[in-house]
Amino acid sequence: MLLSLSVQAVLLAGSALTRAFVLPRQANGSTYTVQTPPLDTDWTYEVGTNPWPEYPRPQLERSQWKNLNGIWKYQNASGLNAVDNPPFGQNLGQEVLVPSCLESGLSGIQGSYMLYSWFSTLFEVPSTFTGERTLLNFGAVDYEAWIYVNGQYAGFNRGGYFEFTIDVTDQISGNSTNELLVFVHDPTDSDDYVIPIGKQTLNPSHIFYRPCSGIWQSVWIESAPANHITELQLSAGADGSVNATVYTSNNGTTDVEVKITGADGTEVASHSGSSNTALTFQADSPALWTPDSPTLYNVSVTLGDDQINSYTAFRTVSRGDVNGIERPLLNGEFVFQFGTLDQGYWPDGLYTPPNREAMEYDLKMLKDLGFNMVRKHIKVETALFYQSCDQLGLMVIQDMPSLRPIQTRTLDNCTVQDILPNAEQQQEFQRQLEVLIRQHRSYPSIVTWVIYNEGWGQIRDTYYPEFELTDLVRSLDPTRLIDATSGWFDHGAGDFSDNHHYANPQCGTPFYSIQSSPYDPNRIGFQGEFGGIGENTTIDHLWNVQQAIDTINQTYEIDQTNEAYNYRSHLLLSELADQTERYACSGGVWTQTSDVEGEVNGLVTYDRRVLRPNVDQWRSDIKALYDAAAARGNGSAVMPEGNPYGQHGPPGF
Ligand SMILES: *[C@@H]1O[C@H](CO)[C@@H](O)[C@H](O)[C@H]1NC(C)=O
Ligand SMILES: *[C@@H]1O[C@H](CO)[C@@H](O)[C@H](O)[C@H]1NC(C)=O
Ligand SMILES: *[C@@H]1O[C@H](CO)[C@@H](O)[C@H](O)[C@H]1NC(C)=O
Ligand SMILES: *[C@@H]1O[C@H](CO)[C@@H](O)[C@H](O)[C@H]1NC(C)=O
Ligand SMILES: *[C@@H]1O[C@H](CO)[C@@H](O)[C@H](O)[C@H]1NC(C)=O
Ligand SMILES: *[C@@H]1O[C@H](CO)[C@@H](O)[C@H](O)[C@H]1NC(C)=O
Ligand SMILES: *[C@@H]1O[C@H](CO)[C@@H](O)[C@H](O)[C@H]1NC(C)=O
Ligand SMILES: *[C@@H]1O[C@H](CO)[C@@H](O)[C@H](O)[C@H]1NC(C)=O
Ligand SMILES: *[C@@H]1O[C@H](CO)[C@@H](O)[C@H](O)[C@H]1NC(C)=O
Ligand SMILES: CC(=O)N[C@H]1CO[C@H](CO)[C@@H](O)[C@@H]1O
């Protein structure tokens, strides 16, 4: 449809890049409409045109902000060279919902092979912005983004799962309309690209799904003083110790004040010191964070004219010997970790949940069944997801999104070889792993980092990179455990001896199977994946794509009735409880939270409309796991003599 346009000329002054250009002013009459997805949810048609209205960064919240989510303009581009000719001041042909994945129905596009794209929107800076600087924030853009404001290049980001901020003060014009133009390149698994993609593939099949391209998390602007807080690194231990580093835009040492208050407004700690250095101080007998009692504290940080709100929780994650077995400890106690493999996929939004309520539906459902953990599987979520886990009391095992999984290429001499990263791709994987840790290390709910899943992208012919990556993660975050290899190729790195096995578990047991390793008593015995049993469903709850339906029979096990599904679940959960009682099992991950595309093995169907578990039975089977663990692992942990802080946790436990 053609839109009638009125145009406004804007003259930018004062910079070497000064140029006059014409901004399109969109006539009213939006063409955006949700494209009917292969399956919808109860939330699909409630999203509307103002999605994700919440402040997107709860651990560094400023009061002067404006959400730029909504209907933007979109145009497919032909290749990487399009970036040399940005379509400034033009009316891009289609409309798109931001944030969304271009491949999703909610985007309004629902395309495929969305390798190169242009996005644009117009925005005004509110007159209430009193700071000297205007910051433009993106929650996540998959995979590379070039940002232009008012015809000027403003910045670039690589990495599909991470937040980035660009100071656009020099490009914007205070009180008039600004044009924001974004070029996105998302190769996913095309050509020779070996980049962090998780489960995304251009050719979906069974456990690998439709990709997500474009601006899939919130975009917003905020106002900040010239010298402002850019990052807050915060951890607080069960002994009341707080460790805070307030990073600033000028990297200098400016006075900062950190205040921690409880839910009733009572201050439990306050400390003044310098920016860009670690501040350590003590809180007065704070309540601890546990899954049963997830107490959070508000944090306020003041640096000159900049004031931000954040939050934290007091808890210590460590490992230690409990009655002769190596255990993960929370606040010095062995807490059996039982969670699901949580893919974070939605039939209407793919990587972007339709809204916060939908996102929390999954988490509340898990809590309700008795799970105390989620394994966030080779995906990184919006900051609000981790805040919800902090609030609800769900421990998070956070995976690094893997490189191209189990794919091969055929060389000219007909040799078939696994697609693994070259040196440069490995270096980029490492850089993004560092970004993952840096951006997420202040969420209390995260207890463990996972580096590799089932050997995907894991080099193993020349050397074992998981050893140096484990050291790197440990140096960036000494306050958590590290699962270097969840499943398959374990060479002894990290804190876990993690088995994957379907359908039945082999958790810390003296038996194991092909592709897994024998249980290593020097590390924590863990079942990183098991279960995966499926129950097919009717077409109205299925991802209605023939290619996906044709792969349903690849699901590890299909139970033909719901009664059979619950009978089998009961046996598998009982087996895990038995292994916990007899052997050295410290936790497990059930595959999986929801169905995804051709995988029909979720606790809920992909549309979240049918819950498979018999709730009473599952609650009682899950409680039996905790009881079995308590019987083996009660009492306080015995820490080895001279255990360095950082290796297993602070002294005193
Ligand atoms: C986008 O452009 C690419 C390359 O020109 C093309 O292969 C693809 O089909 C286009 N997609 C859409 C939805 O037009
Ligand atoms: C915007 O306009 C208001 C009111 O005219 C003025 O007070 C303010 O200084 C202007 N801001 C900028 C950044 O030009
Ligand atoms: C505080 O955190 C910093 C940065 O991670 C670390 O280097 C330092 O050792 C920590 N201090 C204490 C007392 O834990
Ligand atoms: C502050 O340090 C960061 C990271 O090293 C760097 O990118 C940035 O340019 C520095 N800023 C200033 C004002 O020196
Ligand atoms: C804690 O912070 C939240 C979010 O900013 C706010 O809604 C709440 O009122 C604060 N509570 C206290 C006790 O200050
Ligand atoms: C095929 O080529 C690869 C890469 O050059 C080489 O490593 C491999 O040894 C070759 N295989 C055979 C059978 O020649
Ligand atoms: C699974 O279903 C597909 C499509 O219906 C069929 O081609 C294939 O043979 C089946 N595979 C098995 C193992 O039954
Ligand atoms: C699953 O159910 C769908 C819809 O009823 C059907 O088309 C498909 O053949 C079934 N697949 C298997 C493996 O049962
Ligand atoms: C505590 O652990 C010991 C040793 O495993 C066991 O004998 C005892 O029954 C346990 N006590 C409770 C209350 O679970
Ligand atoms: C008057 C009018 O119809 N305004 C609409 C213009 O379009 C936007 C969405 O693009 C609507 O939010 C307005 O209500």
Q: Measured between alpha carbons, how far is 579 from 510 in angstroms, rounded to an integer?
A: 10
* Domain map (residue ranges) of the chain: 3-224, 229-304, 317-648
CATH of domain 229-304: 2.60.40.10
Which residue's C-alpha comes closest to atom 6 of ligand 9?
631
The structure tokens listed for 112 are: 């495929």
| Binding site membership of 30 for ligand 10 (Cβ less than 6 Å) | yes
Interval between CA 536 and ligand 8 midpoint (Å): 6
Which contacts qualify for 28-31: CB closer than 8 Å, 24 or more apart? 29/3, 30/71, 30/95, 31/1, 31/3, 31/94, 31/95
Tokens for 184, please give them: 């996105």
CA separation, residue 531 to residues 124, 428, 548, 557 (Å): 51, 33, 21, 9
pLDDT digits (tens, 9 = 90+) for 255-297: 999 999 999 999 999 999 999 999 999 999 999 999 999 999 9
pLDDT, one tens digit per residue, over 107-164 is 999 999 999 999 999 999 999 999 999 999 999 999 999 999 999 999 999 999 999 9
Closest CA to 557 of 546, 543, 541, 571: 571
Half-sphere exposure (Cβ direction) of 309: Cα atoms closer than 13 Å = 10
Q: Rounded to the nearest whole angstrom, what is the distance from the C-alpha of residue 407 to the centroid of ligand 6?
A: 18
Specify the amino acid at residue 60.
Answer: L
**Nearest CA-CA partner of 399 in 606, 592, 558, 206:** 592
At residue 19, the pLDDT reads 39
Question: Nearest ligand to the C-alpha of residue 134?
Answer: 2
Q: What percent of the chain has pLDDT above 90? A: 88
- Among all bound ligands, the one having the nearest atom to the CA of 630 is 9
User: Which pLDDT score, from 0 to 100, does residue 24 have?
Assistant: 44
pTM to 2 decimal places = 0.91
Distance 580 CA to ligand 9 centre (A): 13
Least confident range from 50-54, 172-176, 233-237: namely 172-176
Query: Ligand 10 within 6 A of 28 CB?
Result: yes
Ligand 5 centroid to 264 CA: how many Å? 9
278 lines ligand 3 (CB under 6 A): yes
Q: What homologous superfamily is domain 3-224 in, according to CATH? A: Galactose-binding domain-like (2.60.120.260)
Mean pLDDT, the chain, whole residue set: 92
Q: Does ligand 4 lie within 6 Å of residue 251's CB atom?
A: yes
Query: If pLDDT is split at 50, 70 and 90, which confidence band does 28 have?
Result: low
Ligand at minimal distance from the CA of 324 is 9
Residue 64's pLDDT band, with cuts at 50, 70 and 90, is very high
The residue contributing the CA closest to ligand 7 atom 3 is 550
Probe residue for ligand 3, chosen from 231, 234, 235, 243 as the CB with the greatest number of ligand atoms within 8 Å: 243
Whether the bond into 637 is cis, omega within 30 of 0: no
Which residue has the CA at smallest separation from atom 11 of ligand 6? 415
Please provide the CATH number assigned to the domain covering 317-648.
Answer: 3.20.20.80
Residue 639 pLDDT greater than 80, yes or no: no
Q: Which atom of ligand 5 is nearest to the CA of 264?
A: 13
Confidence of residue 174 (pLDDT cuts 50, 70, 90): low
Confidence of residue 388 (pLDDT cuts 50, 70, 90): very high
Residue nearest to atom 10 of ligand 7 (CA): 553
- Residue 223 phi/psi, 5-degree rounding, is -110, 135
Neighbouring residues of 185: CB distance < 8 A, sequence distance ≥ 6: 80, 83, 115, 116, 143, 144
Question: Sorting pLDDT into bands at 50, 70 and 90, what band is 408?
Answer: confident
Q: Residue of the nearest CA to atom 5 in ligand 8?
A: 538
Instruction: Pick left, alpha or beta for residue 263 (phi over 0 → left; psi -120 to 50 → alpha; otherwise beta).
Output: alpha
Please work out whether the CB of residue 6 comes within 6 Å of at least one atom of ligand 8: no
